[in-house]
Amino acid sequence: MSALRIFFEVLLIIVALALIYTIVEPFKAELKTYIFSIGNEQASELLYMVGYIIYKLGYLSYMLLKTIALYSYQAIQYLLSNPGFK
């Protein structure tokens, strides 16, 4: 596998986790209630733990992408406003 392919696969995973976070975040309380309403207590706890880990990884991915986008935007603004840039 080439390094570029690995880079894009990792980037795809980061974007997917960030997308999961943005979809799940507004419904976090309802989703937690639904998970714990399942009849099997062990399955509910396991599902909650796995979901919590994915949620936190999604949050970290979201913050990483947000920070990269913010600094990229500022860098582009700086380069475009610099009159000596050729």
Instruction: Name the token pair of 41.
Output: 């207590």
> Which tokens belong to 6?
């690995």
Q: Is the pLDDT of residue 86 over 70?
A: no
Percent of the chain scoring above 90 in pLDDT: 73
Two tokens, residue 16 = 């997917």
Structure confidence at residue 83 (pLDDT): 78
Instruction: Give tens-digit pLDDT for 6-34.
Output: 999 999 999 999 999 999 999 999 999 99
Helical packing angle, 28-36 and 41-81, nearest 10°: 160
Per-residue confidence (pLDDT) for residue 85, from 0 to 100: 60
Mean pLDDT of the chain: 91
Q: Where are the domains of the chain?
A: 3-81
Q: How far apart are CA 3 and CA 5, in angstroms?
A: 5
